[in-house]
Amino acid sequence: MSYRDIITIEPDKRGGRPCIRRMRITVYDVLGWLASGMSTAEIIDDFPELRETDIKACLEFAADRDHRLFASPGAA
């Protein structure tokens, strides 16, 4: 499954930030929790509406965005 099947962007929700499955939990929320040291299990315990695949989709989204930001314009 691609992160594109999980991450949604709606202009009128959370200021257009990428969210998980049309919820109000953003990719950046999840990345922040991971960066602060929370494990996937702890995040899911706190937010049972999330799945492990949602958290992996956030990481994949961030990696893809980073790749696109730093890819050289002529690279294929």
Task: Give the pLDDT of residue 65.
Answer: 78
Of the CA atoms within 13 Å of residue 30, those in its CB half-sphere come to 28
Express each pLDDT in 31-58 by its tens digit: 999 999 999 999 999 999 999 999 999 9
- Report which residue type is found at 10: E
> Is pLDDT of 69 > 80?
no
Quick one: angle between helices 52-70 and 27-35, nearest 10?
A: 100
Task: Give the pLDDT of residue 64.
Answer: 87
Position 76 in a domain? no
Express each pLDDT in 1-12 by its tens digit: 789 999 999 999
What CATH number has the domain bearing residue 61? Answer: 1.10.10.10
Q: How many CB atoms lie within 10 A of CB 64?
A: 14
Phi-psi map region of 14: left, alpha, beta (phi>0 left; psi -120 to 50 alpha): left
Domain range for 47: 3-70
Q: Is 17:31 a contact under the CB 8 Å cutoff? A: no
